[in-house]
Amino acid sequence: MAIKSTQNHYGTVAICIHWMSALLIIVLLASGIRADGVEDAAAKVPFLRVHVALGVTILLLTLARIVWWWRADTKPVSIPMPKLQDRLSRAVHVLFYVVILGMASSGVGMLILSGAGSIIYGGVAENLPDFWDYAPRTPHAIGAKFMIGLLVLHVGAAIYHQFFVKDGLLNRMWF
């Protein structure tokens, strides 16, 4: 299989980045919601340890993804579909980048402003701050809802193409 994409199929690098991002986002949503729902600081810290490490990972992966598409690879041509659907699909793809970068930067912002990094990775859990005292916490919560909305649209579209239109769209993003 080719490293770079062809006119009709994504390349190995694009496929790996896509599925790694999908997995990271699901674990990030789950660990973020879980951390938010726990009152006890000692119980919250293990979720945040996973969440912050994966949050920084998806930031780096997304930056690598942008550089990959910008400098090295070209996307396959769009599958023929009604104009409105095509526009919606492009908008969802761009919004994924915006929301991922927004979530990652608000997350890093919360961590820097609160100084919680040293507590999450080795400090005394009882000293964990209330992240709602810091401005980036609100956009982080709103971004999470947006991210879930985008995932519903994106996965819904993939299922629709795979099982109803049967145009093999999903195969283009697999090995």
Residues that bind ligand HEM (CB under 6 A): 25, 28-29, 32-33, 35-36, 44, 48, 51-52, 55-56, 58-59, 100, 103-104, 107-108, 110-111, 131, 140-141, 144, 147
CB of 170 to ligand HEM, least distance (A): 23
Residues 6+ apart with CB under 8 A from 110: 116, 131, 134, 136, 137, 140
Nearer to ligand HEM, 11 or 144 (CB): 144
Residue 143: which region, alpha, beta or left (left: phi > 0; alpha: psi -120 to 50)?
A: alpha
CA distance linking residue 27 with residue 58, whole number of Å: 11
Nearer to ligand HEM, 14 or 99 (CB): 99
Nearer to ligand HEM, 14 or 52 (CB): 52
Nearer to ligand HEM, 7 or 39 (CB): 39
CA distance linking residue 117 with residue 109, whole number of Å: 11
CB of 98 to ligand HEM, least distance (A): 11
Q: Report the greatest alpha carbon distance in the chain.
A: 56
